[in-house]
Structure 1
Amino acid sequence: MCFTIKAQQYKVIDSLLNDYNIDGARAIISKTSYKDSSEKLLDNAQYYVFTNQLDSAFINLFNVDTLSLSPINKARYLDYLGKTHIADDDIDKGYLYSIRAKEQYLKVKELYDANAFNLTLYNLFADQEYYNYEPDQLLELFGEQAIENEWNDQVADYYIQIALLNFNYDNKKEVMQNLDLALEYLKDDNYALERARIFAIKSVYYAQITQELDSADYYIEKADVIEKRFNIPYKTYYTLINKAAITRLRGNYKETINLLKQAETLKHNLYKKSNLKFLYSLLANDYEDQENYKTSLEYLKKHINYRDSVNIADQFVNLTKYQTVQKDKQILLEQQQKTKNKNLAIIFGGFLIAVSIIGLLVYKNTNRKKKIAEQQSELEKQKLQTFLKEQELTTIDAIIEGQEKERQKLAGDLHDSVGATLATARLQFSHLKKHKNSLDNLDDIFSNTEELLSQAYHEIRNMSHLKNSGVLAKKSLVPAIENLAKNASVSTSLQVEVNHYGLEDRLDNNLEISIFRIIQELVTNIIKHANASEASITLTQHDDDLNIIVEDNGKGFNLSAIDKQGLGLSSIEKRVNFLHGDINIDSTVGKGTTIIIDIPLKTNAS
């Protein structure tokens, strides 16, 4: 009896294989009458990949005529080729083919198969210690699509991965909850082996993380009972490794070594090199713990040999070149063949058109050369004149711009420096006028007022010098601010406190001047407008950042209703922005004002 191949037969085979009905899958392939030999080769490869007969899988795949494949079979070809390379520890090629398989499945709208590759790629990235990549977005995409489409087996795989991400002592509740959620999606009898896998994961957690060895024994035995029904060597291998880990924790090294040697005798091809590398490292360590150094050394040598053969670090060079993956040679040939006739037609048509217009072009070109020769000299003269005019305009613009900037700077300095100093002197005169008959420190106030006027005089005089800071020429920033606070505090109606932290070294001179002017303007605003009795200035340097906080307990204001120009806030904001800083103003009517400024020092370094 023979079967006629159907378009979706591979899904029937896949279903049988996932149910571990190996004979049933083999029977369908054997009894089907194939019209296309590539179809049979792909079905054979599908069977051999699942049963881990990697050599047979490669032979069938290499004999596939890729030029004759339909779009869905192209996806299957890339799918099986990627899985075979991964199982053979050729991670680099496995990655490249997996990327292309996912893209091809998306093209043919096979979304379930495409989504499966999100998990495949996630595991490739997550398992490689040599590759610096964040694969979480692949896992999130895999989970979202599985849940949205109600693909139960993929939803279960998603919760298993979440459990593994939380695999530590403090997350016992999260681990068990996610594993139990996965079991809820695997109640169907067809998912028996998947349930066994979850029991094995629980056993590993109880053994390696919490060391609840009785619970570890319980779950590994549950897994073993299920797996023995199917007699799959590579699953038996992992079960023996897990049992050995539990006996090792109990200190029974003899039984541990016995279990590991049983695992060594199992014949299986899935990740054979990586598994043997891992197994031999365990045996080397266990024999060393038993002080059997000779046997330990033998297994250590075997471990090193397999580690070098796998050479994962070198294989992952191409993983950093995702966008430069080359097309498969045979697929490229197919594309070239499809475009060959089209290119020939274009070339022939283009030749006819070219012959038709060459004569016309030659005629027009002769006349054009004459005109160009006559116009060339005139054009050169015009270009030279235009260039000279542009240069002249550019020079004039630069001069005007420089003059305007200088005027703006002078106006700003007069407002921020001299204006602030005279405002303080004016306040003191006002204080004298109101309390001239009741002041005990009259001489001090006169002396301070005289000093302020003298300071204003010197500031105006020093503005003629390019980099003279007035206040900061001989002092650093902190003493200058402390002096500013002292002068502002001469009236008993306002006390200004200065605190500083981390400002051990002087800053760039221009930067110190700019910061001083900002603080000076803020203090002037407090004196003029705040009606405050107390104010504080705090400067804190954190590495390459300077934080400035100016606070007062004055009457505050409504930020949305005030005139920034009148308060000088516009000028302050411009200065802060010039220093690439940020300014935040917090004021409430009746509760004072707090202004916070952050200035990056590294950006403003000389």
Structure 2
Amino acid sequence: MKTTAFIFFILVSVSFYGQEREAVDFLRRYELDAAQSMILQIETDFQAPLLWQLNMLYKFDFSSGVSPPQSNLTSTSVYSNFYQLVNEGDFLFYSMEGENLKALEKYQEALQYAEKNDNVQLACEALKKILTLHRIYYLYDNQTYTQYLEKYGSLAYDDFEMANYHYYNLILNFKNYYTDQWKLASQEWLDTYFKTHKEPYLMARVYNVYASYYEELEQYDKTNVYIEKAATAYDKVPYKFKRTRVNQLLAFGARIAASQNKTDAMARYLADFDTTLANKTDLQFKSLYHYYSSVLDTFQGDYKSAYHNYYKYEVSQDSSRRYRYDNLLNDLEVKYQTAEKEKQLLVEKQRATANRNALIAALLLLLVGGVVSVLLQKNTAKKRQLAEQEALLKQERVDNLLKQQELLSIDAMISGQEKERQRVANELHDDLGSLMATIKLHFDNSKISKKDPALKNAQKLLEEAYQKIRGMAHTKNSGVMSDQGLLPAIKKMAQVITETNALEVTVENFGMGDRLENSLELNLFRMVQELLANAIKHAQASKVVIQLTQHKDSLNIIIEDNGKGFDRSKVVTNDTGMGLTTIEKRIEHLEGSFTVDSILGKGTSILIDIPV
């Protein structure tokens, strides 16, 4: 009897396992109705994580902020445990307070869990989540996706997975810019696949990449063809998860139409926009919607509407990027004001004409008095406007002068710090170091018995003191002031800190080949040194990652820790070091940007981006 019950249990378990695998097979192909039917046949205890993933794809709405149940990996179902992790990652990634690094960690944990259980199907699902995250947010920053892309290519277990691999191989190497990195073999493979397989969502994404590629080649006829093909494929997908991708395509189409002055096409693309804010990626495309609506209004001469749309676009942009678009905003404002003045002048002219015709026969003197009054009013308004403009110019001059004085003060402070480091290093090395060396020489030449234990201890302590003084001198005069350069100096500093076992500091670099100008390297080294010191003193972190990425005309430095985070508005100014405000002013002086993203209890990310 016990044997029969055991066999029955095994058969039921295998049956549920097969149903779960089949449900995931429907999910990966975005056949949601079939997936729902299969999930409801699974044992109730295993349904919740799969149903959360299903409903997420149905609605793709994270605006409520309701997170999935926290993963505990206590279920006897591998699929249930796996989707607990994936669901947490999706929520962290797409919610309005999106946390990309934490989402990536959850996806990586899901990948490790799938590999631990030898489940290739789930491993591929985790890898697609990781690659999608890189596609959306890290497309231009680094090459960290490479290992995941290679692993996905090796695990792809059928043509559908291989088609997805070739899609990621195209977009992650091309990066919407590098035509020399276009993978023609992947394009040919996908063209052959789509002749016999109709996967509308995958097809739409691939055609979107094709359109971007042909735009870079300035083959705009092909660009428009593939935009329309992608739109047609999206029309065949009935579920909400496509909304953000559709908006991306519509923004792309509107941009291409604008470049070709095709206002009818622009209007058609913008009319199809869905401006619902259901997840954080919708914010970007709603912003683009306002931008291209402003451009269309400008083409059509509706400058008031153009101004309002551009204002909405500006509000939705990050403050560090707004300066790039000030010229367009000013242009729209001038055109709007000009149109309003022309309209006002026309109205006044018509009114004056009517008054003149009515009063010529009756009251010529009153007409003359009215004309004089109008002229005086215009003259007064013009004088007032000129006075206001002059006051604004004076205020701008004062603000610029104060800013220059502040930057000069910061330069003087940093210069003084470097001179003080040099002076202390020289005194330690030249004066105290020489004195210690002389004392050591006298000890070595003394006629006292060399076997005297006291003499040996004294010599040993003297040698240790001499080495410490030399070390202090080198430390004070270290960094990029030697011939080693910025990257080796930061790596050396990270190694020294890590060896103390107080904090693990990791340095990653991408494209750091040529050295920078020495004063710039020195400034950057001191900034990184100060930020590491802050992490050691205040963050209570166990790990810090420093990423240095050198592009063609810019340098990107990211410093992330897993510490306790902080509220910057409550940070007390540090008078003994650079401090965050001083660092920010220095970077502003270098025409760069400085961004601090810190959440209490969740760590801190600092981004420095400067032109080189």
TM-score range for the pair, normalised by the shorter chain length: 0.3 to 0.5
Task: Mark the structure with the bigger radius of gyration.
Answer: 1
Q: Scaled by the length of structure 1, what TM-score is found?
A: 0.44
Q: Scaled by the length of structure 2, what TM-score is found?
A: 0.44
